[in-house]
Structure 1
Amino acid sequence: MGSSKADKATSHDRIINVAAAQIRRSGINGIGVADLMQEAGLTHGGFYRHFESRDELVTAAVERALAQGSARTVATCGQGGRRALEAIIDDYLSPAHRALPEGGCAVAGLAEDISRTNDRTRSAYARQVELYLELLAGLTPTTDAYGDRRRSCLLLSAMVGALAMARAIGEGGLSDEILSETATALKEL
């Protein structure tokens, strides 16, 4: 690959990473091309050399945000068992995760926005939810054939919902209570 092609690929990747962080922080509608390109250290006019449309960027950024968010969870799941599950719950429902949406789980941060996107973006979101359900089911074995799936649906839904509410409320009091009480209840399942 020539240096200009390599530079373009590097810039393209940087744009997607910046957009992924912006999407997790401010939602899909929070991405402005001019601000995005400035944060990526590039000129506004160069955007269309990388993407045909804003929608193309949004899809790529959502896919990247989802993939980045799952990397840590997948690594934790590799530990296996109850300890891994409790570590995931504690990490997901922590004040630190609440305070840093741009570095956190895109499933929680984008839940509201995804329904208004294109099929490819919704499919990427659905694949990520399915991955999380499978990972959680592997950590929560039950004797009931449907129990693993049911339990993983409950765990994921409760964690995503609690995090979304805690972020909406802001730091302190009720927000902290939602995170800690949900974590305690989920670890008792």
Structure 2
Amino acid sequence: MGHSQLEKQKTHDRIVEIASRRLREKGLEGIGVADLMKEAGLTVGGFYKHFSSRDDMVAEAMKLAFGSWEAKVRSEGRAPTDVPMAEYSANYLSEVHRDDVSGGCPFAALTADLARSGEKCRSLATEQLKTNLGNMTDRMSAADEVEARRKAIIVWCLMTGALGLARIADDEKLSDEILETARSFVNDFSAK
């Protein structure tokens, strides 16, 4: 890759990273191209050198967001499937994750937005949801695969919903109580 192509790729990656964080923070419609490019230190006209449409940029940013936890775990030298359920739920249902909307789980931050998003974004979300449920199923204590899958769906719904509700609460004590109650339930429900 030539120098200019390498620079273009770095700029593209920077735009996608900023978009990934801002979309989780502000919603899929919460940031416009002009504001995004300004934050990246670029002009609006440069946007179309990197993306054919805003929808393409949103899809790429969401793909990055969906893979961010796995990438973080791999950067620590671990496989995502090796993270025990108790550790996973403790991290997911933590005050740190609650307070890091822009760097956190896109499902908890954007459930309603993703449901209303375009075909490409919904397809990416669906594929990641299948991956997450598959990984969660492997962590469940159950008599058989059907029961493990059922428990995985319940746990995933509980965790994303609890994180979202904890973020809504402007009463920190209530917010912490939601997280702690969900963590406790998840650990009891999924224990192997």
- TM-score (normalizing by structure 2): 0.90
Show structure 1 runs of 4+ deviating over 2 A: 69-80
Would you say 1:59 and 2:59 are equivalent positions? yes
- The residue aligned with 2:90 is 90
* Deviation of the 1:45 alpha carbon: 2.0
1:76 CA drift (Å)? 6.4
1:84-121 per-position Cα deviation (integer Å, ceiling 9, x unaligned): 10001110000110000111111211111011111111
Residue 27 (structure 1) shift: 1.0
> Taking structure 1 as reference, are residues 98 and 171 closer, same or farther at Cα in structure 2, changes over 3 Å only?
farther
What is the aligned-residue identity percentage?
37
Trace 1:78-157 onto structure 2 (pairs within 5 A): 78-79=81-82, 84-157=84-157
1 CA distance for matches of 2:69 and 2:102? 10
Aligned length: 186
Distance in structure 1 (CA, Å) of the matches to 2:47 and 2:92: 34
| In structure 1, distance between residues paired with 2:48 and 2:80 | 39
**Cα deviation digits, residues 126-166 of structure 1 (max 9, x gap):** 11111111111111141133111001001100000000111
TM-score (norm 1): 0.92
> Cα gap change, 1:171/1:132 in structure 2, threshold over 3 Å: closer, same or farther?
farther
Are the aligned partners of 1:77 and 1:85 in contact in 2 as well (CA < 8 Å)? Answer: no
Q: Is the 8 A contact 1:69 1:106 kept in 2?
A: no
Asked if structure 2 preserves the Cα contact closer than 8 Å seen for 1:70 and 1:105, the reply is no
Which consecutive unaligned segments of at least 5 residues does structure 1 have?
A: none
Query: What's the Cα RMSD here?
Result: 1.7
